[in-house]
Amino acid sequence: MMVPALLPSATQQKCPHAPLPAAALLRRLNMFSETVALAPFLPTGLRHPCECAPFEQAQAGRVQALDECDARQEDEQIHDKRETRSRAWSGSTVASTTASDVIDASPMQSRVDDAVDGNLLLGQVWELSQDAAGCRQVQQALEEADQKLQMVLVSELRGHVLQAIECPHANYVLQKCIVMMPHTGFQFILDELLAGGSDAVSAAVRHKYGCRIVKCLLEHGTQEQISPIVKIVMEAAIDTAKHPYGTFVVQHMLLHLAGEARRCLLQHLTAGANMLASDPQGCATLGAALVDSGLTEEVLSLARRLAEGPNLLVEMACLRHGHRAVKEVLELLEGG
C-alpha cells in the first residue's frame, strides 16, 4: 500500500499546539478512507470523536460477540459436566502417577445413563466390568448402592481378580471396590492376589494396570492387610524401584507405610543407593525417599550415602528425575 504524502500545514492549523510528528500522523490517518486501528490510541486532544467512533463501535461489537461465544461455551461445559459427573471417577494416586491412571474413557462408547440401578446388573457384573462402557456402569452402581447391594455386586468379581488386575477396564472396578468398600469388603482381592504367591504379587506390582491396584490397597488397606504385600515387595525393593511401574508402588509405600515398615524400606534403598542412582526410575524413587517425614536419621543416612559416592551426584543430575533427588540431598546435608 502506498503511503500518502504528508501535508502538515492543514493539520497544524487544525491542531495548532500539536507537535509536528503527532500532527503529521493525524494528517496521514485523515487521508485514509477508513479509520485505521491506530487512531484510538492517539491523545484525546489530537482526534475527533467521529474519527474513532467507527473503530470503537466495531470493537464493542467484537467484544459483545466474544462474550456471547464464551457464554455459550460455558453453558455447554456445564451441561457436559452434569452428564458426566456421576460416572467420572479419579483413582487415588501419588503426585508421580502417570496420565494412564485417569479413568478409562472412550468417546465412541455410548453414554451411561445418569442413574444406574445396581439390581439390573446382577448376574453380569464381571461381563460388564470388562467393557469400557460397562465398567463405568458397574462403578456408578457401586457408588449409588447401599452396602448390602454393594456386597452382592462385588461378590460376582470373586475368582476373577487376577484377570481384572490386567484388564484395561476391570482394573477400575477393582479400584472402586477398594475405595468404596470397608476393609472386610475388599479382603477377597488381597486373598486372591496372595494366593498366586510372590510371583503373582511381583507381576501385579510391575504391571501397567496392576500397580494401580497395589497402590490402592496400600492406601486403603490396614497395616495388617497389606503387610504380606509389603514383605514381598521389600524382598526385591531395588529391582522394583527401578521398574517403570514398580517405582510408583515403592513411592506409595514410602508415603503410606507406618514408622517401622518405612524405616525398613529406607534401609533397603540405602543399601542399594548406588544402583538406584544410576537409573532414571531409581532416581525418582530416591527423590521420594529423601522427603523427610519424621525419620530424619534414616533419610540423612541415605543422603550421605549418595554424597559419598565418587561423582554420583553429578551423574544423577544428568538423569531424568535425578536433579530433584540431587536437590533434596544438597538441602538435607546443608541443613543437617
pLDDT band at 171 (very low <50, low <70, confident <90, very high): very high
Residue 229 one-letter amino acid? I
- b/e sequence 220-251, b meaning 16+ C-beta within 10 Å: bbeeebbeebbebbbebbbebbbbebbbbbbb
Q: Closest Cα partner for 43 from 69, 19, 61, 9?
A: 19
Predicted pLDDT of residue 7: 41
List the single range of 2-16, 22-36, 109-123, 175-189 with lowest mean pLDDT: 2-16
Show the beta-strand stretches assigned E in 57-175: none
Predicted pLDDT of residue 258: 82
Cell of 64: 459483545
Global pTM reads 0.64
Q: Are the CB atoms for 316 and 325 separated by under 8 Å?
A: yes
Phi, psi of 110 (to 5 degrees): -70, 150
Cell of 327: 536437590
CA distance 58 to 72: 21
Report which DSSP code applies to 331: H
Phi, psi of 30 (to 5 degrees): -70, -20
**Which of the two residues, 311 and 56, has the higher pLDDT score?**
311
